């Protein structure tokens, strides 16, 4: 008699996706508050330049020569000693601001002179990039000890796949989020906010719901109540121009966007972007959490202390332009990449920005080639106006030897070359005579 046959086991059903977006709270400012705890609860703005380690101590010794100041005394510096935004003059922009400063309308990327009008009493501190990078590495390594599938999205934010991590399904991910929050605070002394949702799209929006030091859980059935009432600009990928166009059609919220037929969106926004708008308005996003990703471009740019002109400031602009090209080439070589799309970015004194790029036949990481091609791009813009910012970018990157496997995800935008303008060409030739 044959023995009983055991039927094959039914594989367990896959767990529902739970994706977290973690954002450090006012990260650059929080790093400074670790150094200066006496500033907690006050409006503080970070920006305007790079911190030099001995600046504060040197000024302290000058102001209070009777005391012997050292790094251990920073927490005892009187609040009145710190510089204020009031009367600030310069070209700097805000990197970040504490939440008390944000209550006055001050925010990231705002010019410091404008911020000074909104919140003159705010304390202004420069950026300490070395310390920011150190703490960034520390909080990310803390996460990886708990949840191994993490996507690095910059110095202060990450995506984490909670799906198969212990505690990642409990209370929709809240249990694991609490553990990560607590662990990061213990390691760094800085708080973070976490949104947990079925995908990256909604998780990023959710991380903003309860800032600072908050946790927000969104389920698929929460789309109508929690997501649809939000402005379209809350969708990562809807920029100012797209939002303005949407509003022109009477579409202000994500719910109003979801109410439009896919065909109408494709007709008015193009096949790819129109389809994407329809998908995200319904909360659909299948992008995985990517633990390793290739850069799609590398760039360098600088904002000038004063507006520069191609004729009157020819030498200074030319030197800056050469340095930017050399820095980009250095970045490419240091990280082992080459690119074939080379472009420039200018911002004029009226804050209007323009970009131009060109794609060459072969990939390069050569500074001279980058400068030559970027210079040709400059011949396609108006150089009769004063310039506030200049930048150089190399895209369509590959590792040398893999030129047939270009990094995916690169979105290239070629600008139509305008008719030649004699004044523009004259200014370009003065600044870049080797392009004749």
CATH dotted code for 27-128? 3.40.1170.60
Place of tokens 């813009």: 381
- The residue among 344, 320, 430 whose CA lies nearest residue 384 is 430
Query: Does domain 228-281 bear CATH number 1.10.150.20?
Result: yes
Neighbouring C-beta atoms of residue 407, cutoff 10 Å: 18
> CA angle 294-299-301, nearest 5°?
155
- Ranges of residues in the chain whose predicted pLDDT is under 70: 1-5, 7, 9, 49-57, 69-71, 293, 401-436
pLDDT value for 295: 77
pLDDT value for 196: 98
**13 Cβ contact partners less than 8 Å away, ≥ 6 residues apart:** none
pLDDT value for 428: 46
What is the DSSP secondary structure assignment for residue 17, as one 8-state letter?
Answer: P
Q: For residues 159 and 152, what is the distance between their CA atoms, to the nearest angstrom?
A: 7
pLDDT value for 118: 93
Q: For residues 159 and 93, what is the distance between their CA atoms, to the nearest angstrom?
A: 27
Query: Active-site residue among 62, 66, 151, 157?
Result: 157
3-state SS class at 94 = strand
Full-model pTM? 0.70
268 vs 149, 274, 281, CA distance in Å?
38, 7, 16
**Which CATH superfamily includes the segment(s) 297-435?**
DNA polymerase, Y-family, little finger domain (3.30.1490.100)
Element spanning 363, H or E: strand 353-364
Burial class from Cβ neighbours inside 10 Å (0-12, 13-18, 19+) for residue 322 reads middle
- Determine contact, residues 353/345, Cβ cutoff 8 Å: yes
- The residue among 427, 221, 163, 190 whose CA lies nearest residue 309 is 427
Q: For residues 132 and 129, what is the distance between their CA atoms, to the nearest angstrom?
A: 5
- Determine contact, residues 149/111, Cβ cutoff 8 Å: no
Q: What residue ranges do the domains of the chain occupy? A: 27-128, 131-221, 228-281, 297-435
Query: Does domain 131-221 bear CATH number 3.90.1150.10?
Result: no
- Label the pairing between strands 353-364 and 19-24: unpaired
- Label the pairing between strands 150-152 and 157-161: antiparallel
According to the 3-state scheme, what is the secondary structure of 256-297? HHHCCCHHHHHHHHCHHHHHHHHHHHCCCCCCCCCCCCCCCE
204: its two tokens: 């990023």
pLDDT value for 54: 52
> In 104-212, where do the E strands start and end?
123-127, 150-152, 157-161, 192-197
Element spanning 217, H or E: strand 215-217
- Determine contact, residues 197/64, Cβ cutoff 8 Å: no
What is the DSSP secondary structure assignment for residue 111, as one 8-state letter?
Answer: B
Strand order in the sheet with 157-161: 150-152, 157-161, 19-24, 192-197, 215-217
Q: For residues 139 and 156, what is the distance between their CA atoms, to the nearest angstrom?
A: 9
Backbone angles phi, psi at 362, to 5 degrees: -125, 155
Is position 244 annotated as part of the catalytic site?
A: no
pLDDT value for 406: 43
List pLDDT tens digits, range 403-431.
Answer: 554 433 333 333 333 333 443 444 444 45
> In 94-198, where do the E strands start and end?
94-97, 123-127, 150-152, 157-161, 192-197
């Amino acid at each position: 008699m044959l023995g009983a046959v055991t039927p094959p086991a039914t594989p367990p059903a896959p767990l529902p996706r739970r994706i977290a977006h973690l954002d450090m709270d006012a990260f650059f400012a929080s790093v400074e508050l670790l150094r200066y705890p006496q500033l907690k609860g006050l409006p503080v703005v970070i920006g305007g330049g790079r911190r030099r380690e001995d600046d504060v101590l040197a000024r302290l010794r000058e102001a209070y020569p009777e005391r012997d100041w050292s790094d251990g005394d920073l927490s005892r510096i009187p609040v009145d000693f710190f510089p204020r935004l009031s009367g600030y003059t310069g070209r700097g922009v805000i990197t970040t601001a504490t939440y008390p400063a944000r209550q006055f309308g001050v925010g990231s990327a705002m010019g410091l002179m404008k911020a000074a009008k909104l919140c003159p009493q705010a304390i202004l501190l420069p950026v300490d990039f070395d310390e920011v990078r150190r703490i960034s590495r520390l909080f990310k390594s803390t996460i990886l000890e708990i949840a191994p599938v993490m996507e690095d999205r910059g110095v202060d934010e990450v995506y984490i796949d909670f799906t198969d991590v212990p505690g990642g399904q409990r209370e929709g991910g809240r249990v694991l989020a609490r553990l990560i929050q607590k662990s990061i605070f213990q390691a760094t002394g800085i708080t973070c906010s976490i949104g947990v949702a079925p995908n990256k799209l909604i998780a990023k929006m959710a991380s903003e719901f309860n800032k600072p030091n908050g946790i927000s859980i969104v389920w698929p059935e929460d789309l109508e109540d929690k997501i649809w009432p939000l402005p379209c600009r809350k969708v990562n990928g809807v920029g100012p121009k797209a939002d303005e166009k949407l509003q022109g059609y009477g579409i202000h919220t994500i719910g109003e966007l979801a109410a439009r037929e896919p065909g109408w969106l494709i007709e008015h926004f193009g096949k790819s972007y129109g389809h994407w708008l329809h998908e995200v308005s319904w909360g659909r996003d299948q992008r995985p959490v990517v633990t390793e990703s290739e850069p799609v471009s590398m760039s360098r740019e600088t904002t000038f202390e004063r507006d520069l002109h191609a004729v009157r400031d020819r030498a200074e602009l030319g030197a800056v332009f050469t340095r930017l090209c050399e820095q980009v080439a250095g970045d490419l070589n240091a990280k082992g990449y080459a690119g074939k799309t080379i472009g420039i970015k200018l911002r004029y004194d009226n804050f209007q920005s323009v970009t131009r790029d060109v794609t060459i036949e072969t990939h390069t990481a050569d500074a001279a080639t980058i400068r030559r091609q970027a210079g040709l791009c400059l011949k396609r813009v108006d150089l009769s106006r004063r310039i506030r910012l200049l930048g150089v970018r190399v895209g369509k990157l590959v590792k040398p030897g893999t030129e047939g496997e270009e990094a995916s995800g690169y979105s290239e935008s070629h600008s139509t070359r305008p008719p030649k303008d004699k004044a523009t060409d004259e200014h370009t030739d003065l600044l870049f005579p080797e392009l004749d």
